[in-house]
Amino acid sequence: MRTLLTLCLALLSIVATAQGQCVLYLQQCAACHGERGRGDGPAARFLDPKPRDFRSGYFRFVSTTNGIPSDGDIWESLSAGLPGSAMLSFAHFAPMQRTMLVNTIREFRRDGLRERLSASMTDASAIEAAVLELDTPSGGVSIPTETPDTMDARARGALTFARLCSRCHGSDGRGIIDPERLTAEGALARPRDLTRGVLKGGIEDVRLWQRIRGGIPGTPMPAVSSKDLSDEGVWDLVHYVEALMPRGQQELHDPVRWSLGAVRIQGPLPTGPDDPALLAVQPLWVALAPFQSHERTVEGVAVRALHDDEHVVLRMEWADATCDVPARGGKAVAPDGIAVRLAGMSFPPVMPIAGSPLPLDRALWLAGAKPAADDPVFDALVPRFENPDSVCKSPIGPEHVGQAQWRDGVWTAFMIVRPERAGHIEAGGSMPISFAVFDGSVARGPLPATFSHWQTLRFGH
Ligand code: HEC
Ligand code: HEC
């Protein structure tokens, strides 16, 4: 009887874990990667590169010699994110949750293999054996001791780069688009612009080594074998590529979740972005992830925040070389703008899933735009601040106000938001906050160009 009970409990916990995997994946990943891991979630059509299709088998950032991702590789992509793309870091999930997600992804991969194999095989156990074989990562690319980074080493590396890499990355490292070069999924392959200094698989020496020796599976980027280049030659190349990359850019694009402090103020709320109380707050740099990785658009926003136990006051600054205001000169341009979201849950998904609304407060400012009386998304309301460049749209009410100014290539926006759906402000407590920036010069329809991870907004005492 006891054994039976233990067995039942064990079975129950397996079922619970399987559901747990699913729920977290469905909530956090499916909007992009699709419910069944096919890379076809509802948000996928807005993204380039597309979210990975876990069933197709091609994982890009792997450390193995046979191109099959190890659990560690998947864990790494999930934890660090892929900087410069829409794939953010999920390092804020507990290790157990991340392990569950890694297992879910591996299961999708195996399902994909099963599907393909069953087209030509019928015996279930033979299929399982083949799946196991095709899903067993080899050992890692071996990495010998680093050779010194000297001028001579970089000069040798430069020659190797010209010989092996420049046909795709260009002699200057900026990358050459060739319409004939496609990914395994049939999308245009875009060799990385190395002079930006942002790499999806990490900028550390060992990561570069892995990319050069292992290539990037599913893309034209080939693996360089030891027949073509000695280990020392690879180090020379690593040193040269590092010299091409500006320092510090990777950190500026780190797609992680940070903590943003809102300082508590007493007395009247600031009425503009240059209020001394706002300027006294230390700004937090929030990295923005692009919907379209190849577009040159806004890369981050510097945010200062205050609160008075009822409202959140925000000053947001971002660099944008062009000031896109539709009303100006009758030009039909899409507007620049910024959207802020506050959420009433601790780990909101990056992309909300249609049909399952979240407890969110949203505030949006768009240059020169006035909400139409019958705006379907934003209830008509009288904007508090109005100047030719600046009208606030907000779905909630007149508490949500904003204004912005563009000067010398920088937008400075000011917004006051009173959370309602997301809950109430509590000094000492916190609330997730995220940002999305609209860039008229690269706009496609009503979408922002870039979006941030959810940051933790902490309300000071
Ligand atoms: C906003 C959309 C979005 C969400 C949400 C998202 N991803 Fe991704 N993910 C992407 C995109 C886009 C890529 C491919 C980026 C590229 O190749 O440049 C990607 C790539 C990946 C990869 C591939 C790494 C490789 O080596 O090829 C893994 C693994 C992954 N995502 C896991 C996850 C998991 C797990 C979640 C949920 C916790 C998640 N992603 C949520 C957009 C998303
Ligand atoms: C046939 C074309 C081709 C050649 C040759 C090539 N690459 Fe690439 N490379 C690519 C493409 C395409 C990508 C982008 C892959 C992706 O993320 O989808 C890339 C990406 C990269 C990255 C970015 C990795 C990351 O983590 O973001 C590095 C670094 C790189 N290549 C270095 C090199 C070096 C060094 C050589 C010479 C040994 C080389 N490549 C040769 C096509 C090429």
Instruction: State the Cα–Cα distance between residues 3 and 270, nearest whole angstrom.
Output: 67
The answer, yes or no, to whether any atom of ligand 1 lies below 6 A from the CB of 105, is yes
∠ at Cα 212 (211, 214), nearest 5°?
Answer: 65
The answer, yes or no, to whether any atom of ligand 2 lies below 6 A from the CB of 306, is no
pLDDT of residue 191: 97
pLDDT of residue 360: 82
How distant is the alpha carbon of residue 339 from its chain centre? 17
The CA 385 to ligand 1 mean position distance, Å, reads 39
pLDDT of residue 401: 54
The CA 221 to ligand 2 mean position distance, Å, reads 5
The answer, yes or no, to whether any atom of ligand 2 lies below 6 A from the CB of 164, is yes
On the question of pLDDT at 221 being above 90, the answer is yes
On the question of pLDDT at 59 being above 90, the answer is yes
The token duo for 416 is 């006051």
Rounded average pLDDT over 145-160? 97
Is 257:178 a contact under the CB 8 Å cutoff? no
Q: Categorize the per-residue pLDDT at 329 as very low, low, confident or very high, splitting at 50, 70 and 90.
A: low
Closest-CA residue, ligand 2 atom 33, reads 165
The answer, yes or no, to whether any atom of ligand 2 lies below 6 A from the CB of 211, is yes
Is 345:432 a contact under the CB 8 Å cutoff? yes
The token duo for 135 is 């899903």
pLDDT of residue 330: 56
Is 67:214 a contact under the CB 8 Å cutoff? yes
On the question of pLDDT at 2 being above 50, the answer is no
Instruction: State the Cα–Cα distance between residues 157 and 147, nearest whole angstrom.
Output: 12
The CA 31 to ligand 1 mean position distance, Å, reads 11
The answer, yes or no, to whether any atom of ligand 1 lies below 6 A from the CB of 211, is no
Nearest ligand 1 atom to the CA of 69 is 26
**Cα distances (angstroms) measured from residue 219 to each of 32, 54, 182, 208, 237:** 20, 15, 7, 16, 20
The answer, yes or no, to whether any atom of ligand 1 lies below 6 A from the CB of 221, is no
Instruction: State the Cα–Cα distance between residues 353 and 395, nearest whole angstrom.
Output: 19
Instruction: State the Cα–Cα distance between residues 319 and 302, nearest whole angstrom.
Output: 10
The CA 52 to ligand 1 mean position distance, Å, reads 6
The answer, yes or no, to whether any atom of ligand 1 lies below 6 A from the CB of 49, is yes
Mutational test site, ligand 2, from 52, 160, 221, 250, max ligand atoms within 8 Å of CB: 221
Closest-CA residue, ligand 1 atom 29, reads 74
State the average pLDDT for the chain: 87
Q: Closest by alpha carbon to 147, among 44, 66, 239?
A: 239
The CA 260 to ligand 1 mean position distance, Å, reads 25
Rounded average pLDDT over 338-356? 85
Nearest ligand 2 atom to the CA of 229 is 38
Instruction: State the Cα–Cα distance between residues 132 and 128, nearest whole angstrom.
Output: 6
Closest-CA residue, ligand 1 atom 41, reads 29
The dihedral sign for the CA sequence 389, 391, 393, 396:
positive
Instruction: State the Cα–Cα distance between residues 133 and 57, nearest whole angstrom.
Output: 13
The CA 86 to ligand 2 mean position distance, Å, reads 19
pLDDT of residue 332: 64
The answer, yes or no, to whether any atom of ligand 2 lies below 6 A from the CB of 253, is no
On the question of pLDDT at 318 being above 90, the answer is yes
- pLDDT tens for each residue of 24-51: 999 999 999 999 999 999 999 999 999 9
7 contacts: CB under 8 Å, gap ≥ 6: none
The answer, yes or no, to whether any atom of ligand 2 lies below 6 A from the CB of 203, is no
Share of the chain above pLDDT 70, in %: 86
Q: At CB < 8 A and 24+ separation, what contacts does 121-127 make?
A: none
Instruction: State the Cα–Cα distance between residues 367 and 337, nearest whole angstrom.
Output: 6
Q: Categorize the per-residue pLDDT at 372 as very low, low, confident or very high, splitting at 50, 70 and 90.
A: low
pLDDT of residue 354: 67
Instruction: State the Cα–Cα distance between residues 132 and 114, nearest whole angstrom.
Output: 10
The answer, yes or no, to whether any atom of ligand 2 lies below 6 A from the CB of 201, is yes
pLDDT of residue 233: 97
- pLDDT tens for each residue of 390-410: 344 443 333 345 678 899 999
The answer, yes or no, to whether any atom of ligand 1 lies below 6 A from the CB of 351, is yes
Question: Residue 321 burial by CB count (10 A; 0-12/13-18/19+): exposed, middle or buried?
Answer: exposed
The token duo for 277 is 């109380």
The CA 90 to ligand 2 mean position distance, Å, reads 25
Instruction: State the Cα–Cα distance between residues 448 and 436, nearest whole angstrom.
Output: 6
∠ at Cα 393 (390, 394), nearest 5°?
Answer: 145
Rounded average pLDDT over 208-228? 96
Instruction: State the Cα–Cα distance between residues 436 and 422, nearest whole angstrom.
Output: 18
pLDDT of residue 13: 40
The dihedral sign for the CA sequence 276, 254, 189, 108:
negative
The dihedral sign for the CA sequence 348, 353, 359, 361:
positive
Instruction: State the Cα–Cα distance between residues 270 and 39, nearest whole angstrom.
Output: 45
The answer, yes or no, to whether any atom of ligand 2 lies below 6 A from the CB of 191, is yes
Is 450:436 a contact under the CB 8 Å cutoff? yes
- pLDDT tens for each residue of 155-204: 999 999 999 999 999 999 999 999 999 999 999 999 999 999 999 999 99
The CA 191 to ligand 2 mean position distance, Å, reads 5
Mutational test site, ligand 2, from 61, 176, 192, 239, max ligand atoms within 8 Å of CB: 192
Closest-CA residue, ligand 2 atom 34, reads 165
Closest-CA residue, ligand 2 atom 39, reads 165
How distant is the alpha carbon of residue 208 from its chain centre? 21
Mutational test site, ligand 1, from 53, 87, 221, max ligand atoms within 8 Å of CB: 87
The answer, yes or no, to whether any atom of ligand 2 lies below 6 A from the CB of 213, is no
Q: Closest by alpha carbon to 344, among 286, 285, 426, 263?
A: 426
